[in-house]
Structure formats: C-alpha cells, structure tokens
Structure 1
C-alpha cells in the first residue's frame, strides 16, 4: 500500500517540499474591465498595496490602477507561474515582456537578479475577468544562484497533456515539468534546477471530473519529496464536499498530503469536480536564507543581494511605468530581450486575436 503522511491544512502560502520553497494559488473574480483594463468598480476604501485578501472576491495587490505586482526584484531562485484563467502582462529588466493566459506557463530563472512586473489586465469589458493562477517558487543550488536570468514560455497549445477516461469521467494531467511515463515535458530554462533529470523535479496539474481516476507515475529516487495539494476552482477553501482519494486516503479541498515511498499512486475523485497539483523534487541539501524577494544560502549573501539591487537595479528598468500593460487588443506573445518574439503557434506565426 502507498505510504502517505497525515493530511495537512494548506496555509497561505502552501508549504513546499524538497527544492520547492512554497506555492500560492490566486483566485480573483474580477469584474468587467474599463477600456483602460482597470476594474469597472469603485476602489474606494481599498488599502492599495495591502489589498491582498480578496475583498469583494478580488484583490488589487500592489497595483494602484490595474491589479497585479509592479516592478520588484528576485535573486537566487525560480518562479513557475501557471495560468488557468485570465491574463498576465509581464515585463522585466532584461527588456523582455509577454502576455500569457489560460493554459500557459511562464518559467523564470531569476539567477543573479532580475526585476519584473506581473500585471493582471482586465481585457473583457462585457463580462467578468476571472483570474486563477499558481505561482511556485523553486530554489536554486549555490552553484546556480548567480546564473544569468532567463525565462521561457510554455504555451497551452504546446504543453503536453495526459488524459485518462473511465466510465465515470475524464482525468486530465497537464505536464509542466517532469516526465510522465513516456510523455516528455517541455524544456525549462537551461540553468533551471529542473533541467537536470537527476533532480527529479515534477509539476503536474490534474483536473478530475466526478469519480474520474488516474495513476500518477512513481518517483525516480527514494530521496525525492512529493506532495499532493487538493482544491476546487475556488482554491483551498476547505469545501468538504470536494474529496479526492489518493492512494487509499481521502483528502479534502484545502488539504495536502506527502508521499513517503516511491510507488505509483492512484488518484480517484469524489462526487464533485476537483483539482490536485503534484510537485516534487530532490532536496538541494544546502542552507536556505530567505528575505522577501531573495533566496540565498547565507545572511551575508542576502545583504549583498540588497546592496547589488540598490546599486544596479539588476539591469535597470526600460519601461515608462513600474506597472506596464500592453494595449487591450494585444494577443498572447513573448519577447525574450534578445530580439526574439514568440507566439503560441511559433515565432513566425501570425498573431492571434484575444
């Protein structure tokens, strides 16, 4: 029988395992947008910059006009942002930028330092602009903490998906990282901790119709740490009607469970649609020193990171605003700072409309 830990409540942020520092699942039920992509709703009474707890079902976060996170620095780790609904506009200090949306993943290796913004343009003026987004922080080993920054886009159209259907329904696993049986993932940034298969990094987002079932592959190594995070489309709200049987153990929405052995695990849903995200990887086995946007090995390295950012701004900021967004009609795209522009259908494709 599969060996699992006792279930644990998902905090905010979700506790990480192995090389994963933590994870957050954002759910914002934004209203219709104005033509400038700001909320078509009053912002009176909101504590802009501290508006993080979904008053009225959505947050402005640090955006003062359009929701999101204006320019801020990172060093020493990676961010993996997986969008399941809504739009994100990215800009960074390398001169890169992107707009990505449902089914897309942006993977950023911050390395020696990058400043970036993540804004949530409300592109729809005739309906709500729901945003659901996973953001996971992946640590880097000491040898990679000062590598050049890099980001890649995993477009929805190119991201591998595994589907399993039974008489009850369908289970679908989106393969963000880590091989699933014979299905290979897309390539992360070249200096990512996930780029070495010996680190056994995986991120699988599983959507389950009622009573659907799927078998999650075995870990490759005994030292790999793995966790399952269970929730519904509204996040970790502790809805007891959402239950998933993981290896013989029932886990409710708003809970997680760790796998202690290496075996394959059968995941079977209960009577309500549900999601589970699986993350895993070998522990790096080095000291972790974190302060705000920096993750290093020592306090001295953290102090150096702050000093370097104050001195260099990690390359400066090439945009007119600290919270830039692209015109409302802009389709999904990615500029990589080296003159290369990429679209979901390929670099030479005609841009698609929203």
Structure 2
C-alpha cells in the first residue's frame, strides 16, 4: 500500500505493517494499491480501524507513525507436533508482552483506556486464553476474518462473524479448523460522538466547523502533483517522515 499525506509524509507498507495516523486538527491522506506483481497475484488483507480522541485532544497536532511488522511484538506458542498459536500485539499488553508505544496523543496511549488491537492466529486443533481486562467497562470485540472459526463455550463463530465478549473474564478460544481473528477493545471515552463523512467530533457545531476548516485550508494543502500518488515500483517498504527522516524496516 502506498501512502501520501498533507503533512508531507510518504510510505510503502504491507506484509503485517501498521500505519498509525492521528488526525487531530486535520490531515488528508491517500492510500493507493499499485499492482507491483505483474505476473502473479497481489493479495491484500487491510483493516482501517478508527479510534476516537477525547475532546481535550481533538485538536492535537496530526501525526504519522509506522510500526513495522519486524518490530511489532509477537507471542508464539508451538506445540510438540508443530501446531502454532500466535498473538500479534499491535496495541495493548497481552499478559506480560507489551506493545510498541502508540502515538502520544492517541487514546491508546492512556493506560486507563485499556485499548488493545491483537491479531490472533490459531492452527487447527489449538486454543488460546484471552486475559481479562481490569475494568468491566472495557468493551472487547472479536472478529473472525479467516479460517474455519472459533468456539467460545457453546457458541461457534465462523469466518466473517464477530461477537462482543465479556472483557473482565478469561475467555478461552478453541479452533478445530484453524482461524485468524482480530480483537479490538477499549474503555469508552464517555463523550458524545457526531460523525459525517471522514470527520468525527463531539457535537454538530464542531462538525460544521471542521467542514469549514477543511474547505478553507485543506488541512494544510496537498503537496503532491496528483490526488493518488504511487511510488517507485522497484522500491521496497519505506517511510519518509514530514521532517525528511527516511525509515526502512530492519
């Protein structure tokens, strides 16, 4: 995926990477999907997850961050027969494994928010226990996006289905046929939410002002010659930050 934004950042990411944008006072971005492989398939599995900001942080400085797959913590448990269970810890600690630091202005940076984003992989015939949250107010959802599905007590969740789980209890997932799942959780901010198009605010007045700001300033303008830039097809994964710093996965 080729990224460009109004801050001046560009990137190419994939293969398990995580791009984290904090919109704050406003950012415009483009995500293009060039067919880099001309003679073979170009598979894509992409999730765009929206995480709200509390009112006090709504107008923070926008930011662009890359979490490369090689750096994102992973928990791997291999059975003696080779069957594997893996947890990719994108946000929120899983047992004793902590994630990379989220952007400082994100709701995920607040420990009390209990925000978590985990990618779970279960080989056929394996199981996994999800640790309990500290607060019963924390909402945890599970979405099965690949494989045969998971069993939770007497309930089977097949592919392309999801469920809200009781977060402050240990939940055991069992998979007879294998599954890949996404866990999303967080404590509600507890403020009104008003949304239209790509904008999320706390009230209608704030939403109207956001549209006015965008029409007047374009959130800093678009520094690229086309609306949907694609990058050098021969270049591997990389990021160029607004300050010119060039980053590549290691």
TM-score band, normalised by shorter chain = over 0.9
For residues 142 and 247 of structure 1, do their structure 2 counterparts lie closer, same or farther at Cα, with a shift above 3 Å needed? farther
Q: Hey, what's the Cα distance between the residues in 2 that align with 1:100 and 1:227?
A: 26
**For residue 155 of structure 2, what is the aligned residue in structure 1?**
249
Local SS of the residue matching 2:108? helix
Find 1:337's aligned residue among 230, 242, 247. Answer: 242
Find 2:175's aligned residue among 263, 269, 274. Answer: 269
Shift of 1:135: 1.1
Q: Hey, what's the Cα distance between the residues in 2 that align with 1:320 and 1:277?
A: 36
- CA-atom RMSD, angstroms? 1.3
Contact residue 17 and residue 69 of structure 2 kept, 8 A = yes
**For residue 76 of structure 1, what is the aligned residue in structure 2?**
none
Q: Does 1:158 align with 2:71?
A: yes
Q: Hey, what's the Cα distance between the residues in 2 that align with 1:100 and 1:136?
A: 16
Shift of 1:90: 0.4
Q: Hey, what's the Cα distance between the residues in 1 that align with 2:105 and 2:154?
A: 38
Q: How does 1:64-213 map to 2 (within 5 A)?
A: 88-166=1-79, 169-213=83-127
Contact residue 138 and residue 167 of structure 2 kept, 8 A = no
- CA displacement 1:224-265 (0-9 Å, x = unmatched): 0101111216xxxxxxxx231125532122221112250221
Shift of 1:128: 1.1
Relative to the length of structure 2, the TM-score reads: 0.96
User: For structure 1, which segment, 165-174 or 224-233, has the greater mean C-alpha deviation from structure 2 after superposition?
Assistant: 165-174
Mind listing any 5+ residue stretches in structure 1 that lack a counterpart?
1-87, 234-241, 346-354
Local SS of the residue matching 1:301? helix
Contact residue 213 and residue 219 of structure 2 kept, 8 A = yes
Local SS of the residue matching 1:176? strand
How many residues of Structure 1 are paired with residues of Structure 2 in the alignment? 249
- CA displacement 1:278-320 (0-9 Å, x = unmatched): 1100001110000000000111111111110010000011111
**For residue 314 of structure 1, what is the aligned residue in structure 2?**
219
Relative to the length of structure 1, the TM-score reads: 0.68
Shift of 1:162: 0.8
Mind listing any 5+ residue stretches in structure 2 that lack a counterpart?
none
For residues 227 and 290 of structure 1, do their structure 2 counterparts lie closer, same or farther at Cα, with a shift above 3 Å needed? same
Contact residue 179 and residue 202 of structure 1 kept, 8 A = yes
**For residue 207 of structure 2, what is the aligned residue in structure 1?**
302
Contact residue 193 and residue 203 of structure 2 kept, 8 A = yes
Contact residue 164 and residue 213 of structure 1 kept, 8 A = no
Shift of 1:131: 1.0
